[in-house]
Structure 1
């Protein structure tokens, strides 16, 4: 069994932990901005393929001394890097954390890189080239007091970049956050889904992916582990084939997004088309004041602006009041959720919340407000 660490957005640690358990992970333990877990190579591939809420999966290979630059250099050279890297492969090193002697991440990464390539030079009389953009091996170092955790990044580019979203609105949710928000709600694929402020469509698209049991990793062209020395192509192809075979072809309930801006709706439709969901999601150009429930019951999830990147608090008060009025008057039998980072605006909804779930949108503390509409 290998030791892994999944990096996640702040506040999504527990959501990611539950997802990892469902995928078969053992020894699951949450930490700030991540989750520790254990598993075999197949689990590593499966998590990269199926996870909806994780950024990256790191494979721990050692924990070494890092009192200062010299001790770190010597400690990194005690690792046999030929097990992970040959001179024909490219290399990059990233670093997080710091201590008193190693307080600059670029300098720390440089010491680790030097230790690795100097070992190669001595062993092979040649060394790996550095490729910061798309290396064959991406080494991640995390300074924790006087120890440095050395890991390999199995994901490559962040898993939140599904690959379907070249068209984005002005303040889009990350795909991982959108997926997590949906998982935090009462929505299931048996219930209608509606986002009346859908922007470039991330929430409806992530809902449709969950409804159709689509593995997010199927949209990703390359994972970090696919250029590793121990890459098992047969195992990976088996998991990909299983994922494709487990997809559903149609959705029996409506998944709808609407927005007042035609250009934004066009972006949303483009994004849905890019992941093969153009026929499964209905996008409409519609003023909020004109929206009507598409079914007798269902779930609304929306992310209205809250005066951080779009609009001012004063300009948005009428929007929040309208949301509350429309929910109350037209959506009886539904459950509604509003993500907001502005308590003053939340009060303008004018409805009693049945639940308040703390969420972070990036570094911004937000709340997912739940309304039971009777």
Structure 2
């Protein structure tokens, strides 16, 4: 007798509910909060409030879709569902269980729970995630008769728990994969810069695509490629999908319209506008493949050049350098000469340009031998860094 296979089919997606304003939070690398707030204002989202580690804002469904598609410096966009005091497992369970999860998650869908905890009675993130999951699936089972499964790798719905000083905030993660996953970085060089941090650095320089931009230590090309995306007006989320596309209230017609609107604004990158240089042939090969994957084959130019040979083309523009800090790739004593060299190159070869150096080692920065006209505090992962600006008259 032939065995019958029972296939769990997802129910047809219901018509989107009437639009409503949502309370959102864009999580960002520390130091980039003002950059992200400015990006939201450019998207027409007013009232964005920058705080530590993120930006709070209110928007409708279209604004949420645009934020995910266009934000360059944010890590993810969360939609707040509830907040409540939480100093015990019972309070956590009851607070999460009170949310009408059956309106957002069906038994045929999958879910995952992410947690961040600080200064609270509950200190084990694994336990908090498990207790949250129990409360969610219990509520759905009570309403629907069956429960969804957990899929930590690629869930339909990702729930975020933020527990700080015994106050729990429950949110839906509308981004899915982190927003730095643009889809173009096919390969990574050693100690790569995150795309979101590269975008924040470029924004802090004030570069607007009207003058040249050069990176003399470009590695796998993240800074030049992010600059190219900005100058060509390409949304950073163009070649990826988002968590909200799996939600029950996803509006595909609205999303297609927003994508079409974005596509209509893309322009060709001017020749010679963005360039990268590196002495590592393998890194340059990766950079070229990444640039091609981002749609800039032949438009972003990469040159095999040591730092000693670097000379930017053109009469002025912006030079951005991200040298090693002595914490990941090389020891501090070995890097003193490199930082001296950076100072010499900026002074002797980049007159008329504006130089920026990102470093997580202020002792090494002294060897540049130039007075920074401005300093921006940024975090590269856990490393507190400075983006140093040098006016090169």
TM-score, length of structure 2 as denominator length: 0.92
Q: For 1:212, which of 216, 232, 236 is the aligned residue? A: 232
Matching residue of 1:11: 31
Q: Are the aligned partners of 1:324 and 1:349 in contact in 2 as well (CA < 8 Å)?
A: yes
- Correspondence 1:185-204 to 2 at 5 A: 185-204=205-224
| Cα distance in 1 for residues equivalent to 2:26 and 2:348 | 43
Root-mean-square deviation (CA, aligned residues, Å) is 1.4
Matching residue of 1:66: 86
Shift of the 317–282 alpha-carbon distance from structure 1 to 2, 3 Å rule, reads: same
- Correspondence 1:193-342 to 2 at 5 A: 193-220=213-240, 222-342=241-361
Shift of 1:80: 1.3
Matching residue of 2:370: 351
Matching residue of 2:152: 132
Q: Are the aligned partners of 2:291 and 2:300 in contact in 1 as well (CA < 8 Å)?
A: yes
TM-score, length of structure 1 as denominator length: 0.96
Q: Are the aligned partners of 2:270 and 2:299 in contact in 1 as well (CA < 8 Å)?
A: yes
**Cα shift readout 1:77-120 (whole Å, capped 9, x = no counterpart):** 22211211111111111221256542211111111111111122
Q: Are the aligned partners of 2:272 and 2:299 in contact in 1 as well (CA < 8 Å)?
A: no
| Cα distance in 1 for residues equivalent to 2:361 and 2:142 | 58
Q: How many residues align?
A: 373
Unaligned 5+ runs, structure 2: 1-20
Matching residue of 1:22: 42
| Cα distance in 1 for residues equivalent to 2:264 and 2:130 | 44
**Cα shift readout 1:120-175 (whole Å, capped 9, x = no counterpart):** 22222211011111111111111233432111000001001111112111111100
Unaligned 5+ runs, structure 1: none
Q: Are the aligned partners of 2:376 and 2:386 in contact in 1 as well (CA < 8 Å)?
A: yes
Name the stretch that deviates more: 358-367 or 280-289.
358-367
Shift of 1:64: 3.0
| Cα distance in 2 for residues equivalent to 1:345 and 1:74 | 52
- Correspondence 1:95-106 to 2 at 5 A: 95-98=115-118, 100-106=120-126
Shift of 1:362: 1.3
Shift of the 121–316 alpha-carbon distance from structure 1 to 2, 3 Å rule, reads: same
Q: Are the aligned partners of 2:121 and 2:166 in contact in 1 as well (CA < 8 Å)?
A: no
Partner of 1:161, secondary structure, is coil
Q: Does 1:54 align with 2:74?
A: yes
Partner of 2:186, secondary structure, is coil
Q: Are the aligned partners of 1:254 and 1:294 in contact in 2 as well (CA < 8 Å)?
A: no
| Cα distance in 1 for residues equivalent to 2:120 and 2:360 | 35
**Cα shift readout 1:278-317 (whole Å, capped 9, x = no counterpart):** 2111101111111222101111001011211111222112
Partner of 1:117, secondary structure, is helix
Name the stretch that deviates more: 239-248 or 325-334.
325-334
